[in-house]
Amino acid sequence: MLIQPKNEPERYEGVETRVQFFGVLLLASLAVLCVRLWSLQVINLSEFKALADHNRVSQTRLASDRGLIFARNGVVLADNRASADVVFVPGDCAEERLDTVCARIAEITSTSPVWVKTEVAKFKHSPFTQIIIKRDLTKADRIRVEEHQYELPGVTIIVHPQRRYLHGETAGQLLGYLGEINQNELDSWKDESYSMADLVGKDGLEREYEHQLHGKDGYMVVTKYASGQPQLITDASGQPRIAERDTRGHLLEQEADPVPPRSGRPLRLTLDLDLQKKCEELLSSVVGAIVVLDADTGAALAMASTPNYDPGVFVTRGHDSERADLLMGSNPNRMIHRAFRGIYPPGSVFKVLLAAAALEEGIIKPGTTFFCPGHYELPGGSRPWHCWKHSGHGTVNVVEALTFSCDVFFYNVGVKLGVERISKWCHAVGLGEKTGLDLPGEMPGLIPDTAWKAKLYADKDRSEQRWYDGDTVNLSIGQGNTVTTPLQCAALMACIVNGGYRVRPYLNEELGPKKSERIFSESTIKTVTEGMRKCVQQGPPLPAGTGRLADIEGFDIIGKTGSAQVASQSFQEKYKGDEESIPYEMREHAWFVAGVLDRNPKIALCVLVEHGLHGARAAAPYAKEVIDYFYSHNAAPVAETAPSPDAAAAKRE
C-alpha cells in the first residue's frame, strides 16, 4: 500500500520577511560605509592626508636672520654675524673611545670634562643627539677644534646667525636688546613663526619693530620616526642642512625641496651716528640726556642718554654678571633712556611755554611790564616767592624776562593766565603727554591742574583738594608737581623754531614728518624768539643773557636756561654760598633748550644734566658744542630765508 507524504510547507513562515529585512540592513550598511569612505577619501582628503604626513614626515625649521638696522646715510648699527657652536654626537663615536673624546674636547674648549661626561650620560638612549659643548666659539677655539678634528669623532661645528651691534654702547638704549621669548609672547604671536628659545626684542627699537625685523622662517621636510628628532648641521659653505640621522640613529631622507627662510625687513633710522657719538661723549662724565630734532620734521638726529649700555652683552657669551647687573637695575640705572623715560621738573625752560601762551591769550603784549623787586607776594598771602636774583630785575617786559629768566615776571603772568589755560597750552604743544615717539615705554610726564589735584586728594579734606593761586605760582616756573621729559622740551623748542607747528618726533625714516596745524601766531613766535635770542647773546652793549655760554659767532641761536629744584627752598638755603656742599642727589637739575634759525636743517635741542645745579654753566656749553659739531660736519648752508628785522637788529647790536 502506497503511503502519501504529509502536506508540509516548503519554507518556514516569515522567511521572506527576514530576508528582506537583512537585505535592506545590508544595503543600508553598505550605503553608510560608502558615504563614510567618500567623506574620508574625497571630502576630508586633505585633512587626513595632512595627519598622515604629520606621522610620517617632519618640518625642520630654518630660522630667519633679523633685519639690519641702519643709521642715516646707510651706516649699519646692527647686523648678524656667524656664531659657531661646537657639538658632540656620541652615536658617531665608538663606545671604547667615548671617554677619551670627552676628555679631549673638554680640554680643547676649556670646558669641564666632568660636565661633558654628565651631558653625554643624559642622552644615553638618544645617542645621536647633538650635545652643545660650547656656544659662540672664539676664533682661537674654532681653529683648535678644526686642527684636532681627526681625533674627535662625533665632534662638529654648527654655525648659526647671531645679532651683532657694531658700535658698542653708542645708541645702545635706543636699539634695545634681545632676550629669550616668554610664554606670553609666544601665545600672543602664535600666528607668526616663533618657537621657544627664539631671541626677540625686549626693549628699544628691537622691541618696537620686532615683527618687521624678525623675518619669516623656512623649513625642510624630512622623514620622521616614532622616536627620535631630526637635527640640522652646517655644510662646508655654512648653510644649514639636515643631518643623516635623527637623535635615535634612524636614517633620514629629505622629502621635498627646502623652503628657505626670509630675512627680516631692514630698519632705516633718522639717527646721525656721528652726532649721537658726540652727544654721548659730552655726557660721559655726568648723568643726563641730549635730544636733537630736525625742527621742521621732528626727525630725531640724536637721542643720547648716560649712563648707557652695550646691547651686545645680551647676545654674546661671557657677560652673565653684566647682564644680571643691568636687568636688576644698576645705580644709576643704565637701562633707562632719560630722554623719553626720565621725568624732571622743567624749571625755567617752562617759561618759554608760559610766555607764548600768555601772548596768545592776550594776557600780555610785547610791551607789558612787571616790576621785580626780587620776590613776589599774592594778595593776602602769608609767604613770598623769591626770584633767583634776590636783588631783583627791576621793571621787565616779556623779552627781558626770557633773556634774564625773571621769576617774578612769570609769577605775575601765571596767576593772570590761570591753571586751566596753562594746562591747555601745555597739551597743545605736547608737554605732559606722550609725543608719539616710535619707542616703547615713553613717559607722559605731568602738567597738574584742578582735576588732577582733586583726584589726588580725593580722600582728604576739601581744602586740600582745592587748587590755589600758590599752586599756579609754582607751576608758572615749572616747579611743584610739574614734570616733563627732555624729548618733550626739545619738541617744544621745535615748535618755536619752525614757526609755531607741533611735530611728532620719530626715528624710523618710513614714518616721515607729522605736523599739526599752526599753534602759535607769527607775532607770538617773533616776540618769544627775540627774548630767547637775547638770552644767548654775550653782550655788550646789551647785558649778557643767562644762556651766553651757548653763543657761537655767526649763528642765529635762540635758547633758554633752566634750573629745576629737587629739594625744598628751605633745604637749599642752608647751603647758600656753598652749592658744592649740597648732597649730589639734592642738587638742582640743569636744563638748556636751544634752536638754530639760520641754517639748514634748522635744529631744536634739549640738554639735561641731572643734579648739574645750573643750566647756564652745566648744560649750555654742551648745547654750543653740539651745534658747532653738527653744522661743521654736515656743512649745512645758511638758510635761504631772509632774517627778520629783529634778528638783523640783534646782530647789529
346-360: pLDDT as tens digits: 999 999 999 999 999
End-to-end CA distance of the chain: 164
Residue whose grid cell is 620686532 = 210
Q: Evaluate if residue 310 carries a pLDDT over 90.
A: yes
**Cα(29)–Cα(218) distance, integer angstroms:** 47
Instruction: Output the pLDDT for position 13.
Output: 63
pLDDT digits 0-9 by tens, 535-562: 998 766 556 788 999 999 999 999 999 9
**Mean pLDDT, to the nearest integer, of 158-165?**
85
pLDDT band at 61 (very low <50, low <70, confident <90, very high): low
CB atoms within 10 A of CB 12: 8
Q: What is the reported pLDDT for 14? A: 65
Question: What's the average model confidence in pLDDT over 295-310?
Answer: 95
Note the pLDDT of residue 491: 97
As a whole number, mean pLDDT of residues 152-180 equals: 89
**Rounded (5°) CA angle 102-108-111:** 65
Kindly tell me if the per-residue pLDDT of 245 is higher than 80. Answer: no
**pLDDT classification of 192: cutoffs 50, 70, 90:** confident
pLDDT digits (tens, 9 = 90+) for 76-96: 999 998 888 888 888 778 888
Kindly state the average pLDDT of the residues 419-440: 96
CA dist., res. 371 & res. 21, Å (int) = 116
For 480-525, what is each residue's pLDDT tens digit?
A: 899 999 999 999 999 999 999 999 999 999 999 999 999 999 999 9
Residue the block writes with cell 655654512: 238
Summary mean pLDDT of the chain: 85
What's residue 427's pLDDT? 96
Q: Which phi and psi angles does 563 have, rounded to 5°?
A: -130, 115
Query: For residue range 266-299, what is the model confidence (pLDDT) as tens digits?
Result: 999 999 999 999 999 999 999 999 999 999 999 9
**Contact (Cβ atoms closer than 8 angstroms) between residue 653 and residue 542:** yes
Secondary structure of 226-245 in the HEC alphabet? CCCCCCEEECCCCCEEECCE
Question: Where is mean pLDDT largest: 3-7, 311-315, 418-422?
Answer: 418-422
Q: What domains sit in the chain, N to C, each tagged with a CATH number?
A: 60-268 (3.90.1310.10), 304-323+335-652 (3.40.710.10)
Q: What is the DSSP string of 382-442?
A: SS-EE-SSTT--EEEEHHHHHHHT-HHHHHHHHHHH-HHHHHHHHHHHTTTS----SSTT-
Average pLDDT of the residues in 359-376: 94
The label of the residue with cell 610664554 reads 183
The pLDDT > 70 percentage for the chain reads 84
The pTM for the full model equals: 0.81
Grid look-up 638748556 returns 592
* pLDDT reading at 164 higher than 50: yes
pLDDT score at 653 = 31
Per the model's pLDDT, the better-predicted residue between 280 and 2 turns out to be: 280
- CB contact at 8 A, 156 and 150: no
Which comes out higher in pLDDT, residue 169 or 227? Answer: 169
SS (H, E, C) 97-133: HHHHHHHHHHHHCCCCHHHHHHHHHHCCCCCCCCEEE
pLDDT digits (tens, 9 = 90+) for 461-486: 888 899 999 999 999 999 989 999 99
Cα gap 431→447, rounded to integer Å: 7
Residue 600, classified by CB atoms within 10 Å of its CB into exposed (0-12), middle (13-18) or buried (19+), is middle
Lowest mean pLDDT, pick from 2-16, 159-173, 322-336, 413-427: 2-16
Q: Which residue has the higher pLDDT, 424 or 222?
A: 424
Q: What is the pLDDT of residue 651?
A: 34
Percent share of the chain, pLDDT over 90 = 50
